[in-house]
Structure 1
Amino acid sequence: MQPIRKAHVPKHASHERPWRSTRQGYAARHLSFGGSWRGTREEYAARRSPCGWSWRSTRLSLATHQGLNRLAAREHAWLERLNGIRLPDWEVGLLRLASRLGDGMFWYALMGALIARQGWGAVPAVLHMIVAGLAGTLVYKWLKGATERPRPYQACPTICCLTAPLDRFSFPSGHTLHAVVFSLVATAYYPMLGWLVWPFTALVALSRLVLGLHYVSDVLVGALLGGSIAALTLTLVL
C-alpha cells in the first residue's frame, strides 16, 4: 500500500494577502464603503449597468471619481497634520459642539428668535431661509449620491473621526453649504446678524476638517455652492 502524499501547499497560500497588496483587494475594500472604482472601464460599466446608466454617464462618473481620488491624495498629508494636532479638550469639545449645532439646531433657533422678536415682519426672511435651505439639501444630497466620495477617515487609516457623521459620503460638505446659505440670506435681511452668523459659519467649516469628516475640497465646494444658491434666490426675491 503506497503512502498518501500530501499536496504541496505554498507557505503563503494559507494567508490572504492584505488589501493593499492587490488591486482587486483594494477595489473590494474601497467599494465596501461606496468608494470609487479602480478597475477597467468595462468592469466599471458592468457594475453600473444594472442601474440603467448609459455608457456616456458611466464615463463621466468614472472621470469624476478619478478626479476626486487624485485631489484627495493631494489633501491627505495636510489633513493628517491638521487632524493630528493635539488640541485641548475644550477646543475639541467646542468644535464638536459647532458641528452638532450646524446640523440645523443653530439655524432653527435663529429662525425662531427672529419670529419671536420681529413677529410677522420676520416671516419673509424665515421663509426665504427655509426655501434656500431646502434647495441646498437637494443639491448636496444629489452630489453625494452621484460622487460617492468616502470620508477622509474611511480612506486614510491615520485620520481619526472625532464625531459621528450624519451620512455616508463626503462631497460636498452639507454643513458648510447650509451655513453659507443661511448666513447670506439672514444678513441680507438683517445685516446686524453678521457678528453672530459669520464666526459660527467659519467655526463649522473648520470643525468639519479637524474632526476628520471632510476634505478641504469638500468644504470649499460646499461654500461655493451655498453662496451660489443664496445669491440666486436673493436675486429672484429682492
Structure 2
Amino acid sequence: MNASYSPTRDPLFYVAVGFFALITTGLPAMIGLSRLLPLMQGLALAVFVILAVRRGETRHAVWVMAVWLVVQFLLVTLLAWVFTARLENAVAGGFEARGAILEWHFADRLFPGSLPDDPWRRLGEIAGVTLGALATAGVVGDWVVVRAVNVAGLQLGAMLANAGGSVILTSPFLWLVIPRLAGLAGLAILFTEPLLTRTWSPGFYWRNRRRLIVVSVALLALGLILESLVR
C-alpha cells in the first residue's frame, strides 16, 4: 500500500493546497507587502504543482492550480471589498488597477490591461507562463498567474465596494477575466514539465497533453478577444 501511495491523490493534499493559499495570500495582503505577496504565493504554488507534474499526473496538477486560484481569488476579492485601501498597497500597482477598473465600469473605457489598452502587459504575461515557466520549471509562470489573479481579485473587490454586490450579476467582469486566467494557468502547468522530466519533444506533448494545450490556448484566446471587444 505504501509503495503505491501518491500524495496528490490524497484529499488532505488539497486541503494543504487551500491552507497554504490562504496563508500566503492573507498574511502578506493584510500587512501590505506588495513584493512579498506574489513571491510567497508563487513559490508555494510551484511546490505543489511540481509535486504533481514530476509524477506525470497532469490532471492532479490542474486540480492543484484550480483549488489554489479559486481560494486565492475569493480571498483577495473579499479582502479588497472590505479593506480596499489596504489591498491597494498589497497589490503592485493596486491604486492604478482600482482606478482603471472603476473607470471601465462607470465610464465605458477600454478594459484595463487588454490588448487594445496595454498590449505589452498581456504579451508579458504570455511570455511569463511559457518561456518563463519553461526556464524555471514553472516558478516564473506560477508567479505571473498569481500576480494576475491578485489584480483581478482587487478589481472585483473594488467594484463590489463602489457599486454593490449586484455588480457580480450586472457586470461582464468575471466572464472577461476567468477565461484568460484559466488559459494562463493551463499554459503554466504545461511549460513546467519539460525541465522537470527532461522531455523536450513537441510531439510527446501533442500526443499526451493535447487536451491541456487546446483548452488552455482556446481559453486564453477567448479571454483576450472578449477583453478587447466588451466595454
Which one has a larger percent helix, Structure 1 or Structure 2?
Answer: 2
> TM-score w.r.t. structure 2 length?
0.30
> TM-score w.r.t. structure 1 length?
0.29
